[in-house]
Structure 1
Amino acid sequence: MWPNPPENQDTAPVLSPEAARLAELLALRRLTLEEAESAVLASANLASDDYTAIFLDVFERLNQRRSEVMDGIIRYARNQARMAQEIDALRVEIADLSKGESPDFDRIDQLEEDLDWRARVFDDRRRSLTYACETPVLLEKRLYALAQILAARVTE
């Protein structure tokens, strides 16, 4: 992703105040790529090494966000699995009550209402999961695009 590895990979590069401001700005997801490119072009007095340090800083920030999103997806998936088990348990309970000699129709109605609600929430969350799973990919694409913008300044 980044064609210019830092000279000393054991220590994090020190950012100048201007480079630190640019790195902080580039790490903002609300900043469009066009705005990011303009900000990089406006910082014309930076040295080539500064762009490597900026990229490393932006990479760390976006990678941290990506990790947080991934952790959230894991929690989300666990909750979905728990909800699926609860839905299955309700279905089994409804089936068991229906098979009885004198079914408790009030209880069955209550369970069916609960089942319908839980199934609706489960389906809504399932549809939302698609968006959540796209977020890490979007972060990776953004990081690659920012790397290309910064790398273009190094080769100039």
Structure 2
Amino acid sequence: MSKMRMLITAALLLAQPTFVHAEDYSDPTWPCVQRKVEHLSLGIMWPYPVPDHELSEDLAPAAERFVDTLILRRVPLEEVEIITAEFAQTNSQLTQDDYTLIFQAIFDKIDRHRKKLIDGIGRYSLSQIDLAARIDSARVDMDTEMAKQDPDFDKVDALEEQLDWDQRIYRDRAQSLLYVCETPVILEKRAYAIAQTLSHHVPE
């Protein structure tokens, strides 16, 4: 087992045992149990082909407002259905291509936001690895000092105080990471739910 892998495994054990079920620690920027998927697939969520043109100038402003509303996580999915139904009724002339372009805009914005979150998780993970290494080093220093014939207890006390603080920070961060790791999945589910809602209004 590599030193990096050992550090990650030991550090995760300090926090939440749930994390040790992740199958692969070869990527130190991904500490989550959830499988890392950097980008979503439009084709899996949306069954219609993407046209090679853009929305009409008349429709574009309203569609942009509609898109920006639907991607807001504070807007419940139940409300998304109501907003979509109102938009479809107001714009009864919408075609399959129009709905496809609208969903593509929604998908692209959610996917970009999701990718930024994944990158942030990577940076967060690396900082945790650095902190775990510092914790490991402090423990070694404490053991080394205590093994001496005449230990410097002031140094040991300082190391113990710093170790306690670092472990507390690590555990707090790990707790936050449990929530953060769920966020890309939540965004993926939201994109899929919006796709399902929009597809119900696509004309035959």
TM-score range, shorter chain: over 0.9
C-alpha distance in 2 between matches for 1:102 and 1:37: 72
Deviation at 1:123, TM superposition (A): 1.2
The runs of 5 or more residues in structure 1 that have no matched partner are: none
Which residue does 1:39 correspond to in 2? 83
Deviation at 1:74, TM superposition (A): 0.3
Which residue does 2:60 correspond to in 1? 16
TM-score by length of 1: 0.93
Q: Is the contact between residue 19 and residue 50 of structure 1 (CA under 8 Å) also seen in structure 2?
A: no
Which stretch shifts more, 139-148 or 46-55? 46-55
Deviation at 1:7, TM superposition (A): 2.2
Q: Is the contact between residue 51 and residue 101 of structure 2 (CA under 8 Å) also seen in structure 1?
A: no
C-alpha distance in 2 between matches for 1:139 and 1:5: 23
Structure with greater helix percent:
1
- Aligned AA (1:68): K
TM-score by length of 2: 0.72
Which residue does 2:48 correspond to in 1? 4
Deviation at 1:37, TM superposition (A): 1.0
1:77 corresponds to 2:125: yes
1:149 corresponds to 2:149: no
- 1:133 pairs, out of 175, 181, 191, with 181
Deviation at 1:6, TM superposition (A): 1.6
Give per-residue Cα distances to partners, 1:60-95, cap 9 Å, x unaligned. Answer: 110011001000110111011100000000001111
C-alpha distance in 2 between matches for 1:5 and 1:28: 25
Please state whether the residue corresponding to 1:5 is helix, strand or coil: coil
- Aligned AA (1:142): R
Tell me the percent identity: 45
1:52 corresponds to 2:96: no
- 1:105 pairs, out of 153, 160, 164, with 153
Which residue does 1:120 correspond to in 2? 168
Which stretch shifts more, 85-94 or 17-26? 17-26
Please state whether the residue corresponding to 1:100 is helix, strand or coil: coil
- 1:87 pairs, out of 106, 112, 135, with 135
C-alpha distance in 2 between matches for 1:6 and 1:122: 46
Which residue does 2:74 correspond to in 1? 30
- Aligned AA (2:185): V
C-alpha distance in 2 between matches for 1:7 and 1:56: 10
- Aligned AA (2:173): R
Deviation at 1:155, TM superposition (A): 3.9
Query: CA-atom RMSD, angstroms?
Result: 1.3
Q: Is the contact between residue 6 and residue 52 of structure 1 (CA under 8 Å) also seen in structure 2?
A: yes
